[in-house]
Structure 1
Amino acid sequence: MERPRGTKSKADQIKAFLEQYQPKLSEARGFLQFMLSKEEILRRTDLVSDLSGYDCAILVSAKGSGTWPFLFRRGDKIYTKTSQAVVELMKSLPERIGLCLSTAPPPWSEEREEFLRMLARWHDEVFQEDLERLTRRQELLREIDRALDERDRKRFEQLSAELRRMR
């Protein structure tokens, strides 16, 4: 059966979101697929960027966006689990449902910028430490091979002990 034009367009937009983005909350993918399978839910759903004004609102965020991973609001009750949202929708279907598929990046702030710089420095330091450890390990293995070739047992034991301490 062919979907009515409005629901087909909504379904296409939801499918496009799922193809292009990975939801922050992995269960949200299944929730959106649940919505796609329910014609009546799709018919009552409006795809919006602002959920204010909707008594029943659903937010699904893509990884990397600056919004909450998943949120289902019905009246004054808020649910953050997709299973709770499915139960609520199956109990009774609201007349209008606002669905926001958020891909907006987090807002810029000095604190966020500083955090990202600190994270980059930390990553570089950890990478440098790992690189130095790997280089030293390779150097020790070459020296151990040389000690074995020269039948230098004392040097072999000393280098082997140092290699074990690195682990």
Structure 2
Amino acid sequence: MRNIVPVVDKKAFLRGFLKKHQLKRRECSWLLNYLMNDDQLMEKVHFLSCCEGTPKALIISAQGVDHIPFSFRKNDHVTTDCEKAFHDIRLNRTEEVYIELHFPDTDSYAQYLSVLEDNPYFPDTERLDALEKKAETVLTEAVRTFQQERLRKEIDEALDVGDKEAFMLLTKELNALR
């Protein structure tokens, strides 16, 4: 995911999105068109897969998904009134607006994926990155330990049957793993 998406790309995505998907609430189309027609506002628009923790968020759903049609959250206040969201955005043009869209096949819609940004307010992003690295390290070590144990068993079998060539080859592999 990128963190700086050009306005042109955001507008192109929204144009295509609105042509392809019917939103559950018609007012949401009007709101997205309003944003799309104002480059200054579009600079403040960010598409996120999850708007958790953001100070100002629009959550909009298209037909075909099991999700609420619309919700607008500003700090701790939540409303399903699209008109209130419109007026807040219109009156507070300098505030960032985070948009979470729900529609079928989000994971395979390339244009959508190209405008997605990282959520700067998601508190666990750094912690999850650290956990991911730790899990990868643990997994790598577990695989290495398993391979060493397997090679030791094969070395023992080679010794039992007196296969010097297999013993030498397996010992070399085991030493390379260490």
Whether TM-score is above 0.5 comes out as yes
Aligned residue in 2 for 1:73: 73
Equivalent positions of 1:9-158 (< 5 A) are 9-104=9-104
1:81 and 1:38 map into 2 onto residues whose CA distance is 22
Aligned length, in residue pairs: 101
Q: CA deviation at 1:93?
A: 2.8
Report the Cα distance in structure 2 between the residues aligned to 1:103 and 1:43, rounded to whole angstroms.
23
Structure 1 length normalisation: TM-score? 0.56
Following TM superposition, the consecutive aligned residue runs of length 4 or more in structure 1 with deviations greater than 6 angstroms are none
CA distances 1:54-111 after superposition (whole Å, capped 9, x unpaired): 1110111101112110111111111212211111112213532211121148xxxxxx
Q: Is the 8 A contact 1:56 1:94 kept in 2?
A: no
Aligned alpha-carbon RMSD (Å): 1.7
Kept in 2, the 8 Å contact 1:65–1:104? The answer is yes
Structure 1 contact 17–101 (Cα < 8 Å) conserved:
no
Alpha-carbon distance in 1 for matches of 2:94, 2:61:
22
Q: CA–CA distance in 1 between the matches of 2:18 and 2:64?
A: 14
Measure the CA separation in 1 of the matches of 2:99 and 2:30: 15
Identity %: 22
Report which structure shows greater RCO (CA 8 Å, sep ≥6): 2
